[in-house]
Structure 1
Amino acid sequence: MEQTAAFWIAAGMATFFVGMSKGGLPMVAMLGVPILSVFIPPAAAAGLLLPMYILADIYAVWLFRGQYSARNLKILIPASAIGILAAFLLVSRVPVEASKLVVALIGLGYLLDALRKRLSGDFRSRPADVPRGLFWGALAGFTSYISHAGGPPFQAYTLPQKLPKMTFAGTATITFACINWMKLPPYVLAGQVTWESLKQISVLAPVALIGAWSGYRVTKWLPERIFFTLVNIALGLLCLKLLSEVAQAWWPGA
């Protein structure tokens, strides 16, 4: 790993955004890996940031204590474990680009459906239920393991419930904290997380914690309507980013 000043500035920025996403701002989560990917391969960047995700998760879970949907957690966490196990067993057979394409289409499909309901005046909420939760939770675990993009399936399931802002953010934080802990052993086995990478990135631990605190404060400060508008915009941008990555991989000359 090239430890230039530019690398450490980029690593610091990526770590701060990781922390902010764990503090309740999922709209900045997509920035971490692309920033580091300027200096190292994306897979290595994802492995390097995973310990920072986990560290920020621990603090963020404490920040959101009491602010979550227990019913959703009871459904989503076991479901995501199933998805992670399936991804671990099938990772060599599932093209990364295929999973990115599925995730992007899921996210865009949800956004189009949400727009249709808004235009038709349908503002009803859809409560948490086990069948849908098992499906979307497993898909979130699967795609998070394969391509680090578990957000769209999670949001496709939880956003229609119209949860309060802090409940939504706390549920997302705790769900993905569990997903990241479950991803750690396979990442270690794959060599994406090593003692050397842990030593190199450990100096940025305070940045992750500051980012989590900052994200939590901004989440509390943002009006509910603006918060969810930003979540939907970020979801759309993430889907477009994933489609761009698929296009570059499948049609490099396009």
Structure 2
Amino acid sequence: MPDIDILTLLVIVLAVLITGISKSGFAGAIGGITVPLMSLVVSPAFAVALLLPILIIADVLSLRQWWGQHSRAHLMLLLPAAVVGIVLGYISFGSLDEAGLRLLLGIITLLFALNMLFKVINQSHFTSSAAGRVLGALSGFTSFIAHAGGPPLNMYLLPQQLPKQQYLATAVVFFAAVNLLKLPPYILLGQLNTALLGYALLSLPLVWLGVKLGIILQRKMPEKLFYHLISISMLLLGLRLIYQAVWH
């Protein structure tokens, strides 16, 4: 367990609040900012390990609302590919030191931010089964490394033009399954322990508060502005992590 000073505690609190906001339905992919943010003050390995049990509990709560509305056909395509991505994430995670993890995390964060800001990739091209398998694997990989599987998943699901309820339900079920599949390799890597699970349980009220804040933000802040702020934050975080990895 890392030493947790006031600054570290504040950053962790902010990251957990953002996790709750992302679960409120406001901004499906903004949860990808949490691990890069925490990695400024703690190791990426600790950041992802702390957030995983929180995400699983939040998934269980979300499944009660969304189960039965998902697209079984899309999940049958995406989930086997996600398993491949999780395996690749496990191999990468286990073979990199802290600097290597920061560099990989920084590159992923930077690429996602650039695409959010400048729409580098035309999502309308990703409608085929082959694209679904590639993006499903990429979602599994980035979810394992940084709990940031949302952007690749959205690149495939959004062009499918599913009804909104079915789209949201499919994403919820997908990540509930992916997060559970991540548990065994995280345990094999020695990332989870009882002390960390205790921290995660203590963080749950913050997740609940984040959900409430997300609802308020939906009403008070224009969605375009919110996404823009998140994108710029991810861009800066990605650059900072790359700098830490290369020059520190």
**Secondary structure of the corresponding residue to residue 192 of structure 1:** coil
Q: Which residue is equivalent to 1:121?
A: none
**1:246 alignment partner AA:** I
**Secondary structure of the corresponding residue to residue 185 of structure 1:** helix
Q: Which residue is equivalent to 1:169?
A: 168
Deviation at 1:134, TM superposition (A): 0.5
List per-residue Cα deviations over 1:18-66 (Å, max 9, x = no partner). Answer: 1221232335414433554455323212211211111111112223334
Q: Which residue is equivalent to 2:63?
A: 61
Residue 22 (1) aligns with residue 23 (2): yes
**TM-score of the two chains, using structure 2 as the length reference:** 0.74
Deviation at 1:80, TM superposition (A): 0.5
List per-residue Cα deviations over 1:176-234 (Å, max 9, x = no partner). Answer: 2222111112212222211111123322223324534664x569x67xxx658855874
RMSD of aligned Cα (Å):
3.8
Unaligned runs of 5+ in 2: none
Distance change >3 Å, CA 92–CA 73, structure 1 → 2:
same
**Secondary structure of the corresponding residue to residue 207 of structure 2:** helix
Instruction: Please show how residues 34-183 of structure 1 align to structure 2 within 5 Å.
Output: 34-37=36-39, 39-92=41-94, 95-96=100-101, 97-98=103-104, 100-101=106-107, 104-105=110-111, 108=114, 112=118, 128-183=127-182
Q: Distance in 1 between matches of 2:59 and 2:196?
A: 19
Percent of aligned pairs with the same amino acid? 31
Distance change >3 Å, CA 187–CA 76, structure 1 → 2:
same
Distance change >3 Å, CA 4–CA 106, structure 1 → 2:
closer
CA contact (8 A) 1:125 1:162 kept: no
CA contact (8 A) 2:114 2:120 kept: no
Deviation at 1:138, TM superposition (A): 0.5
Deviation at 1:78, TM superposition (A): 1.7
CA contact (8 A) 1:59 1:209 kept: no
Unaligned runs of 5+ in 1: 118-123
Q: How many residues align?
A: 241
